[in-house]
Amino acid sequence: MTDLHAQVPSGPRRSRRFTTPIAVLATIAAFATPILLTAEPAAAAGPLRAAAAAKSRFIGYAAANSPLANEAAYRSIATTEFSQVTAENAMKWDGTENVDNAFTYANGDAIVASAAANNQVVHGHTLVWHSQTPGWVQGLSATAMRAAMQDHISNVVGHWANNPVVQSWDVVNEVFDENGGMRTSFWYNTLGQSFVADAFRYARAADPDAKLCINDYNVEGINAKSTAMYNLVSSLKSQGVPIDCVGFQTHLAVQYGFPSQMQQNLQRFADLGVTVRITELDVRIELPADSNEIAAQNTYYGNVVKACLAVTACTGVTIWGFTDKYSWIPDTFPGQGQGLIYDTNYSPKSAYTAVLDAFGGAPADTTPPSTPGTPTASGVTSSSATLSWSASTDNVGVTGYDILRAPGTSGGTFAVVGSSTTTSFTNTGLSPSTSYRYQVRAKDAAGNLSATSSAVTVTTSAGTGDTTPPSTPSGLAASGTTSSSTTLTWTASTDNVGVTGYDILRAPGTSGGTFAVVGSSTTTSFTNTGLSASTSYRYQVQAKDAAGNVSTASSAVTVTTTSGGGGGGCSATGTVQSTWNNGYVIQPLTVTNTGTSTITSWTVTFTLPAGHTLTGSWNATFTVSGQIVTAKSISWNGTLAPGASTSFGFQASRPSGDTSVPSGYTCTTP
C-alpha cells in the first residue's frame, strides 16, 4: 500500500506538504549520520512529450515560477520535455485571492504564457482545498463561505476561461480521510458535503468548456478510500453534476509497495463515464539509496505509465516537478528523497528512461511540419473573422494547427487563441472597429512545431446590427420545491427582433454572494435539480437574442428547499468484499429504493456478531449501540428515485478464527 499522509502548511517553496507516518518517523530517527545523495545511472534520450504523444497521452510537470523564470536549464527541460503543465502553487487560493476580493494572476499568467509559447496545455490547480486557503475564508458562516467559494471560482476560472491553453481544473482536492469518510475540513464542517457538487456547478458556469476534475491521494489502488471516491463520483454523475475527470495524485514510496490493482482501479472509474489522469507522480526513496531501491523506483514509474496506457480513458501522466533540486520530499520526509526523474544538476536519471521506455521509447520523428501559408481572412463582421490557409506538409503527418493573434497593426505579443484540425478557423468574440494580426503554425503527433506563418491583419466592421436588448423578464416565481429541486416560471420578454432564450442565475443564501448562470431555457420555465436540503437560494432570469444582446436581470426570488425525508420503501444487501483471519470488509452494501416515489434519506440497521467491532466506514453516518449498528444516508446519497441504488461500506475486526459476518440488513425511510 502507499503511505498514509495528510497535508500540513507549506514551507518556503510553498510546495505541497505532507505529514509523516509514525512508522516512517521511527525509521528517520534511526539515522545518526548525514544523508548522502546517491549517483544514479545515466538515462536515455527523449523527449518524453514525443513518446507520450505517439501513445495519444500527455506527459506533464508541476511548474515552479521562480526557476521557470530565472534558470535556463530548468526552463529548457520544462518547455521541451513536457506537453502539459500544472501550476504548483500559482493558481491555488492563497496564490490568487489571499485577501478577500483582491485577485492576483501574475504568476499564473506567466505559466500560461510559457505553455502557450511552447505548445503545452495547462491544468488549473486547485480551486477548493482545505490547505493553502487563507484564514479569512475558514472562519466564515455557512452563507458567507458558500458565497466566497462561488466568487472565488467564478473569478479564477473566469480569468482563464477564454484562453484555449487552460483546458482543465482540479475543482475540489482531497475531500476524503483514509477510512473513506469525508475529511472533517472547515469546508465540510461548515457546509456539509454539498460544497463538492456546488463547486463543480460554479466552475461549469465560469467555463463551459473546461474539463472539471476531483483529485486525491492514496486512491491509486482499490481500497476503502478509492471506493469512497468511486461512490461519490458515481453519485455526482447520477445527479447531473458536471464532473468530467478524476485525478490520482500517486505520491509513492518504494518501502510501501506498489498500489494494488492500479489499472483495474483506473478502469472502474473510467467505466463511470469520466476520464482519469495521474496528477502528481513521484516515487521517494529512503536515503542513502541503494541499487535495489533505484530499481524499484524505476519499476514503479514504469508501472504507473503502463497502467495509464492500458486504460483508454487515461489522458496522461503529470510528475510533481521533475528535478530533485525543487522536490517537496526532503523537507517533508527527512531522510528521504531522489523522488523525481532528474537529479539536482538537471541530469536525467534512470527513472527518466523508465518513463520513456514505458511510453515505447523516443519516436524517430524529430522533423517539424513545413510552414503554413499566409492566412487570408473572409466573412469579417463586427465580432468575428474566418481565416483560411494552405496546408503544411510533414514526413509523418500534420495533426493540427495553432492560431495565434496579436493586437493592433504592429507591436504586441502573439498568443494562441485557438486550434484547428483543418485549414480554417473562425475567431469570435472580437470588438467592433478593431484591428488584429493573425499567424498560424502546424504541429505533428511527435510534438514538433512548424515556424509561424506570415501575418495577416484583420479589421472588424463597425457593428451596425441589432444592439437592442430584450425587455426584462418579470413575474419570476417558484413552485414544486422539494429537498433537492425547484421549478421556476416567469413572464416572457419581448425584443425588436426576437428572444432566443433565457439564462437562469442563482446565488447562495438569502442575501450576499454572486449570481452565476446555472442553466438556460428556450421556454419560460426551468427546473433546477441537485440542490441541498433545508438550504436557501436566490434566482434571477435574463433574456437574450440572436445578436447576443442580454436583458437586465429580473427581480430575484428566494427559494428554501425542504428538509430531507420522503415516501417510499428501501432494501439493503451486503456483499463481502474481502476477509482475513481477524477481519473483513463489507462493500458494497447496496441500498435500493423499492417504492414508487423518490426517497430523500434512508437508514440501514444490522447486528454485528458477538465480539465483532466496527473499525472503519464510508459513505454513511454510523452509530453503534452494543452490537447494533445504524447507518444513515449523508447529503449526497440520500435521494434515490424509484429503482435507483447507492452503496456504502464498512470494515470490522473479529476474534481470530471466527468466520462469521453480519447478515439481516434492514432498510427504512422516514
Q: Which are the catalytic amino acids? A: 280
Give CA–CA dist 362/54, Å, rounded.
9
Side-chain-side CA neighbours of 203 within 13 Å: the count stands at 27
As a residue count, the chain comes to 670
Give CA–CA dist 221/266, Å, rounded.
8
Give CA–CA dist 132/383, Å, rounded.
40
SS3 per-residue string spanning 346-402: CCECHHHHHHHHHCCCCCCCCCCCCCCCCCEEECCCCCCEEEECCCCCCCCCEEEEE
Long-range contacts, stretch 621-630, CB < 8 angstroms, 24+ apart: 622/650, 629/605, 629/662, 630/603, 630/604, 630/605
Give CA–CA dist 197/636, Å, rounded.
9
State the first-to-last Cα distance of the chain, in angstroms, to the nearest integer: 40
Q: Which of 227, 211, 223 is nearest to 269 (CA)?
A: 227
DSSP 416-467: EEEEESSSEEEE-SPPTT-EEEEEEEEEETT--BPPPPPPEEEE-----S--
Q: Which of 110, 194, 94, 109 is nearest to 145 (CA)?
A: 194
* Torsion-angle region of 643 (φ positive above 0: left; ψ -120 to 50: alpha; else: beta): left
SS3 per-residue string spanning 639-664: CECCCCEEEEEEEEECCCCCCCCCEE
8 Å CB contact between 26 and 338: no
Give CA–CA dist 452/429, Å, rounded.
23
